[in-house]
Amino acid sequence: MDFLSCTILFAGVNTACEQPLVAELDKRGLGVRIAADGRTVFAGFDTELPSLLVVCDPLPDMSAAQLCQRLRLTSATRGIPVVVLVSAHDAVQEQEILERGADACFCATDDPVFLIFRICALLREFGDETAEREGAVFRQPRVSVVTAPGGILWAWPDGANVGKTPRIVKMLRHNGEDATLVEDPDRLELSNISAGRIQPDCIVVDLSCPAFNGLALAQTVSAFRRRSRQCTRVLGVVEHGQLTAEKIRMAFNAGVDDLTDSDIAPDLLVARISSLVRRKTLQDEARREEAHIESARARMALADALRRVNADLAAANRKLIDAQVKLVQSAKMASLGELAAGIAHEFNNPLAFVLAHENTVKRSMAQALLAVRQGDTVVAEAALTKGSERLASSLVGLSRLRELVASLRRFSRLEEGEFRRLDVPDAIAMVLTLLAPKLGQEIAVACRLEAPPELVCQAALVNQVAMNIVSNAADAILEKRETGRKHGGATPARYKDRILIASFLEPQEGGNAENYVLQISDTGPGVPPELQERVFEPFFTTKPVGSGTGLGLATAYGVVQAHGGSIVITNSGALGGACFTIRVPYKTGEERRGEHVI
């Protein structure tokens, strides 16, 4: 143990015995403080608790046994070791002192070396317990005496006038209690703990005082105890001869804990008050310990509940991610379903082209074979040349089919939720390949891709989002053209609607980071302001029944949110129609090192 951090408090030790002990303790690096009596000992606890007490028996104001009993009442001082110094060897006295709570009894006439040994042993034994008391608080017992001139306690016990302070208050103070006189019960400090006031441990009420109603005051204290869950005790004092059964019944119904008459001996009255204070202190300590236990149980229950909530949230998050993946896949399949006719047409044209050239190639091969047999090399060479040209044309058609199949496979794969390095221009080209039948010859698509080609993101950010927005733009343009034709305002042949896809980097507000911006604008009619927020709601669509699922833009919004970005709609784009602006944080593979980047 580090003795340099220990403090020994001497209480009531005479100078002749004190000086050699202090000298020996100084040699071992132990700090020493001096107190004249027990009251001084307890008053010093408000600022600092000693590591050990050396007490002379008796002290000027109390016995060593009384001091030990009071120390053991509070957890803050319960573990402080106490060594009691006696003037002579007496086995009976030593037994009584030890039974009252002292840790050692030492005769002042013995060799001081033995005392130093016992002190060091006690400090070593109680060192850990001292560290555990650092957060505890000690305060002296507080007693309020409620009386006024004319009351039985004002001139108790002999009826003599003692000035402004009754003798009962002085006796309690001499006994070590923090005693106060209260002449007006309305000024008695009773409030909730939250008010920050120290409540009295015991209230001594003069039930015979004509200045106030003592029983009413006891009822007020009882109500305070029920409201604040305090253990404040009440002792009532009545005049000699008034301690009747009816008086006792009324007093206890009013909340009085103990009742006595004025004929009680002074020491006995002080002992009964001390008994009530001790009982209150023990109850407070028990309730604090119970509160600590309940608090620990509550913290454990809260931790278990938090773990369960976290597990539930993790499960819900996994389900949400799975649902989002399925929703994206459903939206993609819905988009492919809407494009099925055009994609079938894209497949049918090169397939029909290949099938049509099959017969021509067969005939050319047959002619070449016949000419070789006949020895006509000119005819054979012409037939082979024609067949070779037809095969080359068929190869172009087959390559087109392969590109379409590859685009469909890339678009429909399920790994959309993984972050990967994506070639944005290549992904946009794939989307435009699939949308080529819908765009036809009437809509021209221009790309102005100024941002870096590689972006670490989910493939759905370009595949699904760009597909839905460009497809909706094409639908809006075609609907506008159809509406114009119905009203006789045919679009001039030289006029061609356009869709512009642009990408660029822009700095984020208030930082050094950048946003990757993808902007898609068109020459369509735009989106009405009242619908610009609703278009991202699931199943909301302005298309006729059977023409749309209402999941496209809702899915696009969810994908952008998954990237920590934003998507907004305006009608002030470069082409005069709707303009969708998608912003996501621009991160490279190094910046996403902690994430799952493929």
- Secondary structure in 3-state letters for 75-99: HHHHCCCEEEEECCCCHHHHHHHHH
Highest mean pLDDT, choosing among 385-389, 397-401, 504-508:
504-508
Which pLDDT value is given to residue 502? Answer: 92
Distances (CA, A) of 285 to 13, 75, 138, 448: 31, 7, 12, 78
Q: Which domains does the chain have, with CATH numbers?
A: 3-132 (3.40.50.2300), 142-297 (3.40.50.2300), 413-598 (3.30.565.10)
Q: Is the pLDDT of residue 553 over 80?
A: no
- The whole-number pLDDT of residue 195 equals 47
Calculate ∠ Cα 159-165-167, nearest 5°.
50
The alpha carbon of 130 is separated from its chain's Cα centroid by a whole number of angstroms, namely: 33
Higher pLDDT, 143 or 114: 143
Which helix (H) or strand (E) covers residue 448, if one does? strand 443-449
**Helix count (H) and strand count (E) of the chain?**
15, 17
The angle formed by the CA atoms of residues 59, 140 and 295, to the nearest 5 degrees, is: 135
Residues 237, 200: Cα–Cα separation, whole Å: 17
What is the model's pLDDT at position 130?
37
* Percentage with pLDDT > 90 across the chain: 6
- The average pLDDT across 443-464 equals 86
State residue 409's pLDDT score. Answer: 64
Residue 194: pLDDT above 80? no
DSSP 3: G
Respond yes or no on whether the N-terminal peptide bond of residue 58 is cis (omega within 30° of 0).
yes
d(CA 558, CA 569): 15
pLDDT in tens, 206-256: 988 888 888 988 888 888 877 776 778 888 898 888 878 788 778 878 888
Burial classification of residue 577, based on how many CB atoms lie within 10 Å of its CB (0-12 exposed, 13-18 middle, 19 or more buried): buried
Beta-sheet strands, E only, within 539-578 = 566-570
Secondary-structure breakdown of the chain: helix, strand, coil percentages, each rounded to the nearest 5: 50, 15, 30
Pair of tokens at residue 507: 């700095």
Q: Are 142 and 180 in contact (CB under 8 A)?
A: yes
| Paired residues of 518 in beta bridges | 503, 582
| 3-class state of residue 375 by DSSP | coil
Segment 51-97, tens digit of pLDDT: 888 888 888 888 888 888 888 777 778 778 888 888 888 878 877 77
pLDDT at 516: 93
Q: What is the mean pLDDT of the chain?
A: 77
98-138 pLDDT, tens digit per residue, is: 777 777 788 877 777 777 777 776 776 433 333 333 444 66
Q: Is 47 in contact with 109 (CB distance < 8 Å)?
A: no
User: How many Å from the N-terminal Cα to the C-terminal Cα in the chain?
Assistant: 58
Measure the CA–CA gap between 254 and 257, rounded to whole angstroms. 9
Better-predicted residue by pLDDT, 152 or 329: 152
How is residue 445 written in tokens? 């698509």
What does the pLDDT average to over 276-289?
A: 75
CA distances from 248 to 231, 237, 259, 266 (A): 21, 11, 7, 21
- Give the torsion through C-alpha atoms of 484, 486, 492, 495, to 10 deg: 40
Q: Which residue has the tokens 């969708």?
A: 580
Judged by average pLDDT, the poorest of 435-449, 476-490, 555-569 is 476-490
Q: What token pair was written down for 463?
A: 């595949």
C-alpha distances in angstroms, 541 versus 71, 534, 545, 551, 552?
80, 9, 9, 8, 9
- Within 10 A of 454 (CB to CB), how many other CB atoms are there? 13
Looking up tokens 């278990």, which residue turns up? 304
pTM of the model: 0.40
Distance CA 530, CA 3 (A): 79
How confident is the model at residue 133, as a pLDDT? 39
Residue 495's pLDDT band (boundaries 50, 70, 90)? low
CA–CA distances in Å: residue 283 to residues 45, 276, 288, 411? 21, 11, 8, 74
Which two three-digit tokens encode residue 457? 């993101």
Q: Coil, strand or helix: which one is 487? A: coil
Structure token pair of residue 528: 């009405």
CB 38 within 8 A of CB 84: no
CA distance 469 to 557: 11
Rama region for 72: left / alpha / beta (φ>0; ψ in -120 to 50; rest): alpha
Distance CA 261, CA 241 (A): 7
Cis peptide before 157 (omega within 30 of 0): yes
Residues 551/334, Cβ–Cβ less than 8 Å = yes
Q: Of the ranges 81-85, 352-356, 431-435, 543-547, which is most confident?
A: 81-85
CA–CA distance, 33 with 47 (Å, rounded to integer): 13
pLDDT score of 192 more than 70: no
Q: Specify the pLDDT at position 504.
A: 92
Per DSSP, which regions of 262-341 are E strands?
Answer: none
Could you read off the pLDDT of 475-488 as tens digits, one per residue? 888 888 877 776 66
Confidence (pLDDT) at 403: 67
Can you list the pairs that 224-228 forms with residues at least 24 positions away whose Cβ atoms lie under 8 Å?
224/190, 225/255, 227/192, 228/191, 228/192, 228/193, 228/199
* CA torsion angle 186 187 189 195 (round to 10): 90
Q: Which amino acid is at 565?
A: G
Report, as an integer, the average pLDDT of 436-463: 84
Rg for the chain, CA atoms, rounded: 49
Question: Residue 575: CB partners within 8 Å, gap ≥ 6?
Answer: 498, 499, 500, 521, 522, 523
What are the φ/ψ torsions at residue 30 (nearest 5 degrees)?
-95, 130
**Helix axes of 424-439 and 340-374: crossing angle, nearest 10 degrees:** 90
- pLDDT at site 388: 80
Using 50, 70 and 90 to split pLDDT, how confident is the model at 443? confident
DSSP state of 134: T
What's the mean pLDDT in 266-289? 77
In the predicted model, is pLDDT for residue 597 greater than 50? no
